[in-house]
Structure 1
Amino acid sequence: MSDIKVNGTFYPTSFILVGIPGLEGSYNWVGGIVCLCYVLALLGNMMLLAVISASSVLHKPMFIFLSLLASNDALLSTCIVPKLLSVFWFQKRHISFDLCLIQMFFIHSFTSLESGLLVGMAFDRYIAICQPLRYGSIMTNTIIVKLFIVLLLRAAGLISPSFILIKKFPAFKTNVLAHSYCEHMAIVKLAAADVRINSALGLAVAFMILGVDLLFILVSYCAIFHAVFSLPSKDARLKTFNTCIPHMCVFLSFHGLAFFTFLSHRYGGKRISPYVHIILADTYLLVPPMLNPIIYGVKTKLIREQVWKALSTYQSPHVK
């Protein structure tokens, strides 16, 4: 079934992804960078999952959260990269209407889940540092499972209305999507209808996810820093602070890119070129999943030790 055009409006069965306007001559290089980020993200996150699952010493709440984050990062990357590469390398720009909405739903759901997991990890660090005697009774596997279910329901509950409202649009002004993947506001702007509800809903969802989550993380770290600087020993302060550095780097990179992308997309207007918007949006989804396992692998001593142990075990049978 082909797209139907009536009185200048479309009833599309598919969208055409533009990619990154202005960089068409560099698509091979852009695709190579995207592919490299994807490979590094998959390898890094799969390694984290393998090491955490195989090492009983890592079966602790902090590392359970990290394994959930690694799984989410791998799925988030897989949601976007195959279609990006088909656009950049093979010029296959068409994506069916329903598949586009499904991609949009999963991208925004996984980013919501990512933000929520970072809140959970901040809470874990808060309890470990500020309430150490109660840590074992508070941070149980049951609590982690319940929190994860709540985060899944939050993601599905907040993203689903946007999916439903787009499906109800009577027509679209064009089926050319000025983006490299199916992003909510990029689709909404194509509608030949009143989009104020969609725009307001997008703002509300962004606030309830990114805004509220970032507030919780900042409050947690204010309490953590107060507790750390109250420790009498300099070595104790440094050791405790070092346990927080990986998580701080991860949430700053994720939420920093998220807010910069969101604000520039909505309020940058003509002052920011369209290709800058798209590059920022791609970076927001590609870079954190690639960096997270590197940050945790380098800065977390227990993970480094288990990785070296696993490599030594693998190599030892081959050493004569």
Structure 2
Amino acid sequence: MIRFDGRTAIITGAGNGLGKSHAMLLAERGANIVVNDLGGSVDGSGSSLSAAETVVREITEKGGKAMAHGANVTKADEVADMVDQAIKTFGAVDILVNNAGILRDKSFAKMELADFELVLNVHLMGSVTCTKAVWDHMKERNYGRIAMTSSSSGIYGNFGQSNYGAAKMGLVGLMNVLNIEGKKNDIRVNTLSPTAATRMTEGLLPPAALELMTVESVSAGLAYLVSEDAPDRTILCAGAGGFAATRIYETPGIYLPPEQQTPEGVAENFERILDPTGQDMYTDGSSQTIKFISAAAKHFGISLG
């Protein structure tokens, strides 16, 4: 059975919806919980600690341990205070769930740059800020479990969500790099791509569909991603009891000799470039470079040693 006894988890945006569900499940499984929530509306306006305090009360009434903190995830000083208070209260921070987010949906043509920047700041920079605040602490303890929250809107696209999609795909890149940098200290970073009935999906789907999209089913996946035996570098998609993994593959591609390295040469061979036969999943950026250099070296008869 997956348990979190003695572990402490910071969960951002945990006053409602998915964040609250994550907090309740991890607390039920023995974790100490830092319930972070700014208490604003879906578009990020306003603030109140009451939502976080309500979740803390629900956890403690069930025998769990929790504290509330209203840090704005985009403000480094507030986040640092949250981490400090968590360590003083519970002794350490073992788990970070970057869940906080807002929506400012509009078509790209109609979107103000301020709305684009704000959504990026909350989702992407908010996750960066919170992760940075726990990173050295986790390195020193040689243990850490971090979950980013992405979305199909970023991975695949969704009309009217260019700001949200850009932020959510950015988190995948952040996960990839942090896994490489954190590996020697057993810091495992994964990404959850959820779909659930929350304030963010209200009005977008019919009631019958929303009834199937429980937050609890998504939290089951999240709990595994931050467990002792968690995977790493995984994008776990979850919704309505369904679970899948999104993986980024690269086609083998082709090599074009110098005389064919032209726009026309690329156009003429584009179907071969797109051919997925033999595609591979790389775990670092150098793999692609090595593939291309090896093909070029082979053409010229150069030994790379």
- Ranked by relative contact order (alpha carbons within 8 Å, sequence separation 6 or more), the top structure is 1
- Structure showing the higher helix proportion among its residues: 1
- TM-score between both structures, scaled by the size of structure 1: 0.27
- Structure showing the higher strand proportion among its residues: 2
